[in-house]
Amino acid sequence: MVSTAPQSHPRRFAASVDPLEVSRHLRRFGYAIVEDAATSEQMDRLESEAAPFVEASATGRDHYDGQFTRRTGALVARCPTARSLITHPVALGVCGDFLGHATTFQLHLTQIISIEPGETEQKLHRDQMAFDFYPFPDDYHVQCNTMWALSDFTVDNGATRICAGTSTMTDSEAESIEPFQADMRRGSVLFYDGKVLHGGGANRSTGVRRGVNITYAVGWVRQEENQYLACPPEVARELDDELLKLMGYQQGAFALGYVGDQQDALAVLKGTDTKAKVVGDFADANDAFRSFVVEL
Ligand SMILES: O=C(O)CCC(=O)C(=O)O
């Protein structure tokens, strides 16, 4: 069993932190908070871009989604400001290290989670269960999650509950770990891995807790939110290549994600005709690729 003592939780980092330090903490405890990583102007803009969509979103489909919780997705298409959070240097820096064992990482989902007054605690869970409950090894992280505070996160309004250090524990070992609540100022961001037990908090306040959940996964798994339909091609065509690659317009690894006659997805989107990369282009990805290519 992993001991979390004497570390006290939650651990917060300043926005100027080296992402590698955040990644180290994430690896050890399953979460990290970076304070004030986004500006209040960014959050104001995002809030006003999202408002009509949030208003139109239904409350959850079941107790797990939350019957007083609204989930609003498709943020790439709907909210231009969300794009700057998706490609925020601290988020990409942490994911680049944390998911660096894979050839690529990609955007997994974008969702504003609005927990309204009266909501009860969400069942504690590990996000990687979305992959058909596949038992990924303890040392294989399949995803890296962010939750940006669009409102202040407080103990009363439903700040995310995290059971620190539970990423490598069995469910029965983790039972003894009390969750802490990731209270944080608007503009701050909570990182958490796909293995740590966590859940939304109960909202006992009179205000709405709003978080922007942007998650990333290794490039070889299916994305939770279908980015090709959530963002129509006519919108996608206008976006930066860096963002498009994250959305899935790149090979997730060798052979994954080509179009038609082995064409590159980004090229097809932009109306050009470039072939997808061949296995030799991935030679530096890991030792397995390297030895495969040598013998080709
Ligand atoms: O809203 C939150 O704080 C956490 C939500 C969550 O973990 C989920 O819906 O999977």
HEC string of 175-234 equals CCCCCEECCECCCCEEEEECCCCEECCCCCCCCCEEEEEEEEEECCCCCCCCHHHHCCHH
**What atom in ligand 1 is closest to the CA of residue 201?**
3
Q: What DSSP state is assigned to residue 275? A: B
- Among protein residues, the one whose CA lies closest to atom 2 of ligand 1: 200
Full-model pTM: 0.96
- Which residues does a 6 A CB cutoff place in the pocket of ligand 1? 113, 122, 127, 147, 160, 198-200, 211
Q: Are 25 and 157 in contact (CB under 8 A)?
A: no
Give the angle subtended at the CA of 36 by the CAs of 148 and 101, to the nearest 5°. 60
Check residue 6 and give its pLDDT: 59
Pocket test residue of 113, 183, 190, 193 for ligand 1, highest count of atoms within 8 A of CB: 113
* Size of the chain in residues: 296
Q: What is the pLDDT along the chain (296 residues), one digit of tens a residue?
A: 444 455 799 999 999 999 999 999 999 999 999 999 999 999 999 999 999 999 999 999 999 999 999 999 999 999 999 999 999 999 999 999 999 999 999 999 999 999 999 999 999 999 999 999 999 999 999 999 999 999 999 999 999 999 999 999 999 999 999 999 999 999 999 999 999 999 999 999 999 999 999 999 999 999 999 999 999 999 999 999 999 999 999 999 999 999 999 999 999 999 999 999 999 999 999 999 999 999 88
Check residue 235 and give its pLDDT: 98
SS3 294: helix
273's tokens? 């005709």
Q: How far apart are CA 127 and CA 149, in angstroms?
A: 19
**What atom in ligand 1 is closest to the CA of residue 211?**
1
- Among protein residues, the one whose CA lies closest to atom 5 of ligand 1: 200
Q: How far apart are CA 5 and CA 10, in angstroms?
A: 12
Query: Ligand 1 centroid vs 248 CA: distance in angstroms?
Result: 23
Q: Between 1.10.8.10, 2.60.120.620, 3.40.50.1100, 1.20.1560.10, what CATH number should domain 12-229 receive?
A: 2.60.120.620
Q: How far apart are CA 224 and CA 91, in angstroms?
A: 18
**What atom in ligand 1 is closest to the CA of residue 64?**
9
What residue ranges do the domains of the chain occupy?
Answer: 12-229, 231-294
**What atom in ligand 1 is closest to the CA of residue 199?**
7
Query: Ligand 1 centroid vs 12 CA: distance in angstroms?
Result: 19
Q: How far apart are CA 186 and CA 211, in angstroms?
A: 9
**What atom in ligand 1 is closest to the CA of residue 65?**
9
| C-alpha distance across the termini of the chain, in Å | 44
Query: Ligand 1 centroid vs 63 CA: distance in angstroms?
Result: 12
Q: Are 188 and 33 in contact (CB under 8 A)?
A: yes
